[in-house]
Chains A and B, each alone.
Chain A
Amino acid sequence: MSNPINSPTYSATNTGGAGPSPAVIPLRPYEPQPDLGTPPADGEAVALMIDGQPVSVPAGTSVLRAAGLAGIDIPKLCATDSLDAFGSCRVCLVEIEGRRGTPASCTTPVEEGMVVQTGSDKVQRLRRNVIELYLSDHRPEEGLENALLDIAADLGVNESRYDLGGRNHQDLPVDESNPYFRFDPASCIVCYRCVRACEDIQGTFALTVSGRGFDSVIAASQLDNFMESECVSCGACVDACPTAALQEKAVVEAGTPDSYQLTTCAYCGVGCSFRAELKDDQVVRMTPWKDGQANEGHACIKGRFAWGYATHSDRITSPMIRDSIDEPWREVGWEEAIAFAADRLKTIQAKYGRDSVGGITSSRCSNEETYLVQKLVRAGFGNNNVDTCARVCHSPTGYGLKTTLGESAGTQAFASVAKADCVVIIGANPTDAHPVFASRLKRRLREGAGLIVVDPREIELVSGAHVKADHHLQLRPGSNVAFANAMAHAILDAGLEDLDFIRARCEVPAFEAWRDFILQPENSPEALAEVTGIPADQLRAAARLYAQADNGAIYYGLGVSEHTQGSTMVMGIANLAMLTGNLGREGVGVNPLRGQNNVQGSCDMGSFPHELPGYRHVSDPAVRGLFEDAWGVELQPEPGLRIPNMFDASVAGRFKALYCQGEDVAQSDPNTHHVDAALRSLECLIVQDLFLNETARYAHVFLPGSSFLEKNGTFTNAERRISLVRKVIEPLARYEDWEVTQLLSNALGYPMNYAHPSEIMDEIAALTPTFAGVSYDRLDELGSIQWPCNDAAPAGTPTMHATEMVRGKGYFAITGYVPTEERTTRRFPLLLTTGRILSQYNVGAQTRRTENSRWHGEDVLELHVSDAEFRGIRDGDWVGVESRAGDTVLRARVTERVQPGVVYTTFHFPLTGANVVTTENSDWATNCPEYKVTAVQVTRVTQPSEWQRRYGKFTKKQESLLAAARKD
């Protein structure tokens, strides 16, 4: 099957719903991804003759690529179409009429009327000799893909006439330091593809060539090994290597894959497309798919390498039940577990009322899965008590963008950043949390785009390899809205607003009211400097840089949303974009960077208690009627409970049962003590997950989940891109997650009969105008689709608000700055803020079960040198972090990345207890927790906190209860 786009249709033939694994999409026979040698060009058509065959390609295309497009295979080693031509290997030499010598076809652009001979005796002789030169210093491992050996075979070169006992690199040690790949200099042909990939694609510049001439060797950093170098293990070098000198260890061990399937990464909101490659039905490699529109062949350490968790021994593959959380688990069959859960839910609803139960969907699950859970809650439970973990991350994005622009989503495709002239990064750390987008961004920055980083902490982009921010506005945590207002004030002050855009595209009276508000003296950069900590002149300079750029683009992350004024800040950002006319075309926009793979999708799918799929309010009778007709039930017109309301209601005794799919609220939600109390109060907690996660320790029913490799579905990434997740291996626990929800629904008496997730998508499309044109067949055909996709935009919508705002006219919302109540006091003099690290993901459930922990084995507390010195804290000391909510202990890292008065940590490890410290403060509009600001004190300590000791005990107990189940 050479063209993956022409894959089978999804007209599932099996019926009967709950049977295992219907409509299997067959794996495709393995073949390397096609490579035309040099990147595409987009000039006018040029006609030439290659080997007597007329060829027409865009101007700027290389002769090598033109030949490839015409099906003429010119051998190549240093050329690959993900990198600019380099011209070093000299095997793609050709002859061109009227030109001297034998030019390299990779570095020679086509010209009108050119006549090319690709295989004359002269060039074949030259190629053979060059290959002989290579082979005189090449003793590769056998059985691996090796372009050099392939070319040698094609040319009939069996051996080198050169002296194999001459100088060589055959005795150099193999670098095995990286857990995922190894570098064998004996196979290296010094083609620089790895070095160029590290520079041009990844933008890390960790690799170089040391020495010159024959002594040239690939070096990680200063001849370090890969593990100790600046390498970030994105895998771009491994992908680029033509001779298996850089090779995944799993492939070295298992051999070249024999089949593959296209799928979508289950980590962050970039949503990279991958080829899951298998050998003997085992996944041996995840390779970024070159035609994947989100990532265009790039990946990061997580998606590329950290997939081993899927088969980790911690996976639970048998359903389990128990009557109370103090009892050992009992492994039971699916039927018994589902019956047990259904019975419990029914009993509780009978006893405590219809609204005493609810469900939580996960941004880690597919669109179809979240759709089904919310459908189960609304139609099966008969209430609207459904919420999603986006509650605790990007709910303000939905609210803020809907209010101002009319749609709860980012405005651009990732590729748009290539046209940005000034990029503003607010409260996001793309190199760690969205690395593949960061690589695109860094490429644009190296091309000269301006960069403004708004962050309390010095993230890598402030000063990284070949990247330096023009302005690092190091604001105080909690002062975002003050910053946005000062920025708007400075732009208006300088007369840099885009009045034409505002008049044409926005509500003018609202703008005028907003302008009057912003121009009040208390919103000037000078007046707000004390609040934000940003010097007024620097803020004004940054405002000019953004407003004067031809294309200004804002990217933001959870540093914007996870505040008491998260929604206000999102509106403030939208205001800035509208003010400067930076909407509706490529290179501009307002772009939330979503933390998890399907944050966008889980929100789109009606996971919020007040909204049905497509962000339509449950109180709207027309919308409700549509779903009532389709689902055959009456729906509640009142919004249900949000996650924090569920916890409060549980503690209050009104909320008794929860179906929690793929989400670990016990670790990820704020104020752990409160969550603990809420979960303990439940009479029935049903957890569906891969692992016995923190939440599952409070559960009564455990339903084994399936990893992304084990199921079909779709994810929607941060650019609204819907991509197919295709099943690669059979579910370890028999069922795909959507099937489990369906089983539960049927057991509850609300029938569901989907044979394949494509049917769920068909239902979504039928009920949701923005998804009207989406189907699995269409996704297969187009590769992916950015919604809205309907009759007006049959291939989807890369750029939103192109001709008019979704809400008609843009709305400038007044964004008064209200300081958070969480402020420093004498008792809690420091502000704790939280973030992410490259190698770990979210609560770490996946990445902690991989070798990624070798990069980051525990969370640490970053604090400034002066704060450390004042407290007698040295690097590596145990420190207690105490807030009014609780306290925890972790190791200190003394640094200047954070400003004095601010401390920082990550929350990838449960024992860190970051959320023991965070408070219940939350966004005024959406209840998104204020993770990013907690007043704390930090002191040197010698032992774990009380909570950590209790947590340790609880963990030990729950593990023993699990062990008991597994023994049986």
Chain B
Amino acid sequence: MTLQIYVPADTTAAALGADAVARTVVVEASRHGMPIELVRNGSRGAYWLEPLLEVEDEQGRRGFGPVSPEDVGELMAAGFPNAGEHPLALGDVDDLPWLAQQTRVTFARVGIGDPLSLADYRAQGGVAGLQRALTLSPQGIVDEIKTSGLRGRGGAAFPTGIKWQTVLDAPADQKYVCCNADEGDSGTFADRLLMEADPFQLIEGMAIAGLAVGATKGLIYLRSEYPRARAVMDAALALARQEQVLGDDVLGSGKTFNIELRLGANAYICGEETSMLDSLEGKRGLVRYKPPLPAIEGLHGKPTVVNNVLSLAAASTILASGADAYEAHGTGRSRGTLTAQLGGNIRRGGLVEVPYGQTLGELVDGFGAGTHSGRPIRAIQVGGPLGTYLPAALLETPLDYEAFAAVGGMLGHGGIVVFDDSVDMSGMARFAMEFCAIESCGKCTPCRVGSVRGVEIIDRIRAGDQPELHLELLDELCDTMVDGSLCAMGGLTPAPVRSALKHFPEDFQRPVGPGGSYE
């Protein structure tokens, strides 16, 4: 058997040097006269091991990482040794506790094979969900999703089945399925990894959604900052059309579903569903007021399913393995698996898929193995730039929607960003306002003007300028943004600010110098 060598081609692996490793593999194999087949898979999500090189031969599959181009020749010369025989040798990657302890459901196929091989996809259980959906009535599909307990993975955690039901029940001559792939939360990358490493799963999930609600047209709104995801999705969509997974005769059923890929234009706010719809319509990405819900009046005023990449991908698993199998994971009203993305100051960063209910500490200290700097954890921001800053004292909080809400936080899209004890939390509060000021669509006043004034007030507080007066004004401003903003952007920006104030008040009592750093 020809030696198969796997080097991931996804964005993170590439950023860590995987492309150079892959080129070196080809050069070295040729120099050694070694017949190989290079497969550019996607990362398995263990970014702390990237570039992760895997080989597969008669002895099985084994990994090495993180590998630099310089290591390749040596490993090849050594015949790709087993774990323990070389400092980089990891043995069978699946057996690494970091992966073995995860519950890979949505990301089960990620990192295994060639993302653009539809045959591999089918071989690993792909397309089965769509096939099953074709045997069900639209209501039958919606019922499966409802039973699974799936909630929107984009951040709002709205029950997906209910959303689909609304669209199914809305009479219209045209409906749409829009995939929100404008993954803009800081510290998140799950959508990107899924699209780059298992694109057919998203396509399949969208087709299932289309069948469920009676939509014949799907659109993927992909952020333009993801060029690799774009290339993979483009190629995957072409293959899916070619193989009749998409088109006017989906899998020979006579049913129609097509998908168009659209690019965003560098606007965080277009990840907000109504802005995204405006942008998809060719307009300036402005938030719409709700109601009407997009499920009733969405794209071009038609009933529209707007779901995150991971929600739609999960639909294919749910249909393939059954709602009950999915629902069996998780806790309380948080069913299925959480795709946590560990980032920031963390030792073992990457994508961790676990059932809902594990604690924040289990992820950060367990999978993450503490801070990268080795200093104590001081704060964790969960749920993106609008998420709450939690102190280390709350590491025992279980990862489920309701438990997080109870401590004033939100799981959001699963981004977990860790800070050590050197962090200046008044600066982080300022950053929350600044982020809002930069990314606000500018439609509503509390967000457009409030965020700018928020930055200015925090600057005054940090400068020790009438701090009590300004703290009071900041509090009132936060009320105004929470109660007065049109969308979650302005409405949630106070969350990180207020959590910083609440958990780290001391950081607001030390004047800082003109450069912004503490004197």
**Which residues of A are interface residues toward B (Cβ below 8 A)?**
85-90, 93, 101-102, 104, 107, 122, 125-126, 129-130, 133-134, 136-137, 161-163, 166-167, 189-190, 192, 208-209, 211-216
- Across the interface, A208 reaches (CB within 8 A) one of B284, B444, B447, B448, namely B284
Could you tell me the distance in whole angstroms from the C-beta of A734 to the nearest C-beta in chain B? Answer: 54
Could you tell me the distance in whole angstroms from the C-beta of B458 to the nearest C-beta in chain A? Answer: 11
Q: Known contacts being A126-B484, A133-B480, A163-B460, is A211 close to B453, with CB within 8 Å? A: no
Restricting to B187-225, which residues have a CB under 8 Å from any CB of A?
Answer: none
Q: B37 in the interface, Cβ–Cβ < 8 Å?
A: no
A163, B456: Cβ atoms closer than 8 Å: yes
Question: A189 — which chain B residues lie within 8 A by C-beta?
Answer: 445
Could you tell me the distance in whole angstroms from the C-beta of A162 to the nearest C-beta in chain B? Answer: 5
Question: B445 — which chain A residues lie within 8 A by C-beta?
Answer: 88-90, 130, 133-134, 189
CB-CB nearest in chain B for A123: B483
**Which residues of B are interface residues toward A (Cβ below 8 A)?**
267, 269, 284, 289, 437-453, 456-457, 460, 473, 476-477, 479-480, 483-486
B484, A214: Cβ atoms closer than 8 Å: no
Question: A104 — which chain B residues lie within 8 A by C-beta?
Answer: 289, 486
A129, B453: Cβ atoms closer than 8 Å: no
Could you tell me the distance in whole angstroms from the C-beta of B435 to the nearest C-beta in chain A? Answer: 10
CB-CB nearest in chain A for B267: A212
Could you tell me the distance in whole angstroms from the C-beta of B97 to the nearest C-beta in chain A? Answer: 44
A85 to B444, CA, bound (A): 13
Question: A93 — which chain B residues lie within 8 A by C-beta?
Answer: 483-484
Show 11 A/B contacts (Cβ-Cβ < 8 Å), sorted by A: A86-B289, A87-B486, A125-B476, A125-B479, A134-B445, A162-B453, A163-B457, A213-B441, A213-B447, A214-B452, A216-B442
Question: B441 — which chain A residues lie within 8 A by C-beta?
Answer: 212-213
Question: B443 — which chain A residues lie within 8 A by C-beta?
Answer: 86-88, 192
Question: B450 — which chain A residues lie within 8 A by C-beta?
Answer: 133
B446, A214: Cβ atoms closer than 8 Å: no
Q: Known contacts being A126-B479, A126-B484, A129-B480, is A209 close to B442, with CB within 8 Å? A: yes
A87, B289: Cβ atoms closer than 8 Å: yes
Main SS class of interface, B: helix
Could you tell me the distance in whole angstroms from the C-beta of A112 to the nearest C-beta in chain B? Answer: 16
Q: Known contacts being A126-B479, A161-B473, is A85 close to B289, with CB within 8 Å? A: yes
Question: B267 — which chain A residues lie within 8 A by C-beta?
Answer: 212
A534 to B441, CA, bound (A): 48
B284, A130: Cβ atoms closer than 8 Å: no
A8 to B167, CA, bound (A): 56
Could you tell me the distance in whole angstroms from the C-beta of B66 to the nearest C-beta in chain A? Answer: 39
Question: B452 — which chain A residues lie within 8 A by C-beta?
Answer: 166-167, 213-214
Could you tell me the distance in whole angstroms from the C-beta of A41 to the nearest C-beta in chain B? Answer: 14
Given contacts A162-B453, A209-B442, 16 further A-B contacts (CB under 8 A): A86-B443, A89-B444, A89-B445, A107-B289, A129-B476, A129-B477, A129-B479, A129-B480, A130-B484, A162-B473, A163-B457, A167-B452, A212-B441, A212-B442, A213-B438, A213-B447
A101 to B473, CA, bound (A): 20
Q: Known contacts being A104-B289, A166-B452, A166-B456, is A214 close to B480, with CB within 8 Å? A: no
Question: A133 — which chain B residues lie within 8 A by C-beta?
Answer: 445-446, 449-450, 453, 480
Could you tell me the distance in whole angstroms from the C-beta of B497 to the nearest C-beta in chain A? Answer: 16
A31 to B440, CA, bound (A): 37
B438, A102: Cβ atoms closer than 8 Å: no
B480, A213: Cβ atoms closer than 8 Å: no
A161 to B447, CA, bound (A): 17
A86 to B289, CA, bound (A): 7
B437, A214: Cβ atoms closer than 8 Å: yes
Could you tell me the distance in whole angstroms from the C-beta of A167 to the nearest C-beta in chain B? Answer: 5
Question: B486 — which chain A residues lie within 8 A by C-beta?
Answer: 87-88, 90, 104
Could you tell me the distance in whole angstroms from the C-beta of A370 to the nearest C-beta in chain B? Answer: 48
Question: B476 — which chain A residues lie within 8 A by C-beta?
Answer: 125, 129
CB-CB nearest in chain B for A165: B456
A130 to B484, CA, bound (A): 8
CB-CB nearest in chain A for B485: A90
Chain B CB count within 10 A is highest, among A90, A102, A167, for A90
- Across the interface, B449 reaches (CB within 8 A) one of A86, A107, A211, A214, namely A214
A125 to B479, CA, bound (A): 10
B448, A130: Cβ atoms closer than 8 Å: no
Question: B446 — which chain A residues lie within 8 A by C-beta?
Answer: 90, 130, 133
Q: Known contacts being A90-B485, A211-B442, A212-B440, is A167 close to B456, with CB within 8 Å? A: yes
Question: B457 — which chain A residues lie within 8 A by C-beta?
Answer: 162-163
Could you tell me the distance in whole angstroms from the C-beta of B432 to the nearest C-beta in chain A? Answer: 14
A161 to B472, CA, bound (A): 11
Q: Known contacts being A126-B479, A134-B445, is A90 close to B484, with CB within 8 Å? A: yes
Question: A162 — which chain B residues lie within 8 A by C-beta?
Answer: 453, 456-457, 473
A213, B440: Cβ atoms closer than 8 Å: yes
A122 to B476, CA, bound (A): 11
Question: B453 — which chain A residues lie within 8 A by C-beta?
Answer: 133, 136, 162-163, 166
Could you tell me the distance in whole angstroms from the C-beta of A326 to the nearest C-beta in chain B? Answer: 65
Could you tell me the distance in whole angstroms from the C-beta of A28 to the nearest C-beta in chain B? Answer: 35
- Across the interface, B480 reaches (CB within 8 A) one of A88, A130, A137, namely A130
A133 to B439, CA, bound (A): 18
- Across the interface, B442 reaches (CB within 8 A) one of A101, A129, A190, namely A190
Question: B284 — which chain A residues lie within 8 A by C-beta?
Answer: 208-209
Could you tell me the distance in whole angstroms from the C-beta of A480 to the nearest C-beta in chain B? Answer: 37
B483, A102: Cβ atoms closer than 8 Å: yes
A88 to B444, CA, bound (A): 4
CB-CB nearest in chain A for B456: A166
- Across the interface, A190 reaches (CB within 8 A) one of B289, B448, B460, namely B448
Question: A87 — which chain B residues lie within 8 A by C-beta?
Answer: 289, 443-444, 486
A439 to B110, CA, bound (A): 54
A134 to B450, CA, bound (A): 9
A167 to B269, CA, bound (A): 21
CB-CB nearest in chain A for B465: A163
CB-CB nearest in chain A for B449: A133
Could you tell me the distance in whole angstroms from the C-beta of A243 to the nearest C-beta in chain B? Answer: 13
Q: Known contacts being A212-B440, A213-B438, is A126 close to B473, with CB within 8 Å? A: no
Question: B473 — which chain A residues lie within 8 A by C-beta?
Answer: 161-162
Could you tell me the distance in whole angstroms from the C-beta of B519 to the nearest C-beta in chain A? Answer: 23
Question: A192 — which chain B residues lie within 8 A by C-beta?
Answer: 443
Could you tell me the distance in whole angstroms from the C-beta of A119 to the nearest C-beta in chain B? Answer: 15
Question: B442 — which chain A residues lie within 8 A by C-beta?
Answer: 190, 209, 211-216
Could you tell me the distance in whole angstroms from the C-beta of A467 to the nearest C-beta in chain B? Answer: 15
A107 to B290, CA, bound (A): 8
Could you tell me the distance in whole angstroms from the C-beta of B480 to the nearest C-beta in chain A? Answer: 4
CB-CB nearest in chain B for A217: B442
Question: B289 — which chain A residues lie within 8 A by C-beta?
Answer: 85-87, 104, 107
A637 to B341, CA, bound (A): 97
A101, B448: Cβ atoms closer than 8 Å: no
A133 to B444, CA, bound (A): 11
A280 to B88, CA, bound (A): 91
A164 to B100, CA, bound (A): 57
B437, A213: Cβ atoms closer than 8 Å: yes
CB-CB nearest in chain B for A168: B452
CB-CB nearest in chain B for A133: B449
Q: Known contacts being A126-B484, A163-B457, A166-B456, is A212 close to B269, with CB within 8 Å? A: yes
Could you tell me the distance in whole angstroms from the C-beta of A348 to the nearest C-beta in chain B? Answer: 68
A126, B449: Cβ atoms closer than 8 Å: no
Question: A137 — which chain B residues lie within 8 A by C-beta?
Answer: 449
CB-CB nearest in chain A for B486: A87
Question: A85 — which chain B residues lie within 8 A by C-beta?
Answer: 289
Question: A212 — which chain B residues lie within 8 A by C-beta?
Answer: 267, 269, 439-442
- Across the interface, A216 reaches (CB within 8 A) one of B448, B483, B484, namely B448
Question: B440 — which chain A residues lie within 8 A by C-beta?
Answer: 212-214
A130 to B446, CA, bound (A): 7
Q: Known contacts being A102-B483, A133-B449, is A90 close to B456, with CB within 8 Å? A: no
A167 to B451, CA, bound (A): 11
A130 to B440, CA, bound (A): 16
Question: A161 — which chain B residues lie within 8 A by C-beta?
Answer: 473
Chain A CB count within 10 A is highest, among B437, B439, B445, for B445
